[in-house]
Homo-oligomer: A and B are copies of this chain.
Amino acid sequence: MRRSIATVCVSGTLDDKLTAAAAAGFDGIELFENDLVVSPWSPAEIRDRCADLGLSIDLYQPFRDFEAVPREALELNLRRAARKFDVMAALGVNTMLVCSSVSPDARDDDALAAEQLALLSAQAAERGIRIAYEALAWGRHVSTWDHAWRIVRAADHPALGLCLDSFHILSREVSPDGIAGITPGKIFFVQLADAPHLRMDVLQWSRHHRLFPGQGAFDLPGLIRTIKASGYDGPLSLEVFNDVFRQSDPARTAVDAMRSLIALEDRAGLRPLPLAPALRGHAFTEFAVDGGTGPQLREALRGLGFAHTGQHRTKPVELWEQSACRVVLNSAVTRPGVAISAIAVSTDDPAAALHRAAALRAPAHVSAHGPREISLASVTAPDGTDVFLTGPAPDWRADFLPTGENAGTGLLDTDHVGLTQPFDHFDEAGLFYHSVLGLDRLATAEFAAPFGLMRSRALVTAGRQVRLALTVALLRRGEWAPGVPEPQHVAFSTSDILAVAARVPRRLAIPDNYYSDLAARFALADEAVEPLRRHGILYDRDAHGGELLHFYTPVHGGRVFFEIVERRGGYDGCGEANAPVRMAAHRHLRLSGR
């Protein structure tokens, strides 16, 4: 099935949009009328440009408020359609989307709607054009796919069929199962959008909050299978109205869109992807450091009991270890400051993982930094972090000559990596880690931080060997609210946080008020709270009695910090409830100049 994308999905001028769609590998587009109207190119020039880019124009849309109107309005509407047929002829597009009417003039009269749609289709047919009729979820009289189908059946014209839009179908309560029984050939077009479940006006939900498939809560694989069962083999076309995508880089959004469609085809059984190999754990986390931040990171790691255990044979790259916790400090990178430049996860079959990534438009590359005498390939995540996939052999650690230094004890493994995301790419990142690495997504959480709302989402392996915690500001930060770049962090696990905290010299100070509140919230005895307070350890408890104890370091080099976590009784989160305390404490530390 061909892959299409509506021009409304991405930002920019029509030229920006077409270029992005072609570069991302789409076969065709839906031309959203407003993109044509504001373009300086004539329809013929647009047709030629699309042809040059290898894009077909699969749909002209939308044509609104046509059917079930009084006679004099019908005349006007037919004349209006005739003008659009002229444009479509010049564009070389042969299918027009007609949305169910929202006009107060429309009558609740299926027979009239069918009669008028048949008339429109007859006139369209004379021009070689087909009419794809779609039930808007907020249509005045026609708002469900099955109602639209009854009208199309009644109209019984070969140039009239259905346009099915997953949002309009799945946002309503009418089951999509009957779609499989639609007469073969009568589905003319299929538009796909995902969305989160939101309890709000359906039009606002549709216009602002659609997402690409796999980024929301709809069962799109199930819908695709149902549609496929009807015999449909036309384009699968993305039509996503999303406030963020409307203003983000169209080249990137189009790749995100293509990835979503490829992943959907896999889940729907249309085009299987290579399986995502099981991930065994975090192999290492790489920090790019410079002359100023390197010493700060080394001091922080020593404070946590890490040792500089290995030195790269040829590069200014250091391996720091404690038990299975591994950090690489890379001074070969030229960017200033400090940042988490790469994460590495281990898998039994890196080659298969990279094969899948490439199929999902995340091509592997051997980048210009990182420990790589042993060839390690990486893919680049939406936030710019390189993701290395390491295998059982040859071990990348062979690149490092042992220094003989011995690490302390107490920390066991990397628990999670916390990556703050660029505003435009949070949903893209979730889909990337889910589809490329096969991580499961836990529920999205929102919390009020001192400088604005934040959203967070954890991505994990089923056995929790790998955990990533992604966060993003709910609104792009401006002049006042600090935090660009927002800090990143790595959390290490322990089974005895009190002992570790007692040994770590630089812990983030947590306000006494937090502990008073903690005692009240969880009905904790003073004896239970006191050691937490003494060490600056934060606490959370889930609905099943699972507990998290965790503490933080200050922010190092203005950008990164470490966290130590002890999980008890199956606690599965990342302590999001305590994030505002941590953020305020980091802020106070910064203001006090330490």
Residues on A facing B (Cβ under 8 Å): 8, 11-13, 33-34, 36-43, 76, 79-80, 83-84, 86-87, 198-201, 204, 208, 243-244, 246-250, 423-424, 448, 450-453, 473-481, 509, 511-514, 516-517, 519-521, 523, 580-581, 583-585, 587-588, 591
Contact = CB atoms under 8 A, between A and B. Distances in A.
B36 A513 contact: yes
A201 B209 CA distance: 15
Contacts of A588: 13, 40
26 contacts: A8-B448, A11-B450, A11-B481, A34-B448, A36-B513, A37-B513, A39-B511, A39-B513, A41-B513, A80-B521, A84-B520, A87-B516, A198-B200, A198-B204, A200-B200, A200-B204, A208-B453, A243-B474, A243-B475, A246-B448, A246-B453, A248-B481, A249-B479, A423-B478, A424-B479, A424-B480
A74 B84 CA distance: 69
Nearest to A588: B40
B452 A247 contact: yes
Contacts of A580: 34, 38
Chain B CB within 10 Å, residue with most, of A452, A480, A581? A480
Contacts of A584: 13, 38-39
A41 B587 CA distance: 14
Contacts of A452: 11, 243, 246-247
A281 to B, nearest CB: 33
Contact of A511 (B40, B201, B424): B40
Contact of A516 (B11, B83, B451, B481): B83
Contacts of A520: 79-80, 83-84
A581 B39 CA distance: 8
Contacts of A583: 38
Contacts of A591: 13
Contact of A517 (B33, B246, B481): B33
Given A87-B516, A199-B201, A200-B201, A244 B38 contact: no
Contacts of A11: 450-452, 480-481
Contacts of A479: 249, 424
The 7 closest A-B pairs by CB, nearest first: A247-B452, A200-B200, A38-B584, A83-B520, A199-B201, A249-B480, A247-B481
A480 B247 contact: yes
A487 B480 CA distance: 23
Query: How many copies of the chain does the oligomer comprise?
Result: 2
Contacts of A423: 478
B424 A523 contact: no
B519 A83 contact: yes
Contacts of A246: 448, 451-453
Nearest to A477: B247
Contacts of A448: 8, 34, 246
Contacts of A521: 80
A247 B449 CA distance: 9
A479 to B, nearest CB: 7
Given A13-B584, A475-B476, A37 B424 contact: no
A444 B24 CA distance: 37
B38 A511 contact: yes
A39 B477 CA distance: 22
A477 B511 CA distance: 36
Chain B CB within 10 Å, residue with most, of A33, A200, A520? A520
Contacts of A478: 247-248, 423-424, 476
Contact of A247 (B12, B42, B198, B475): B475
Nearest to A246: B452
A83 B517 CA distance: 8
A476 to B, nearest CB: 4
B451 A12 contact: yes
Contacts of A8: 448
Nearest to A476: B476
A474 B247 CA distance: 10
Contacts of A481: 11, 247-248
Nearest to A43: B513
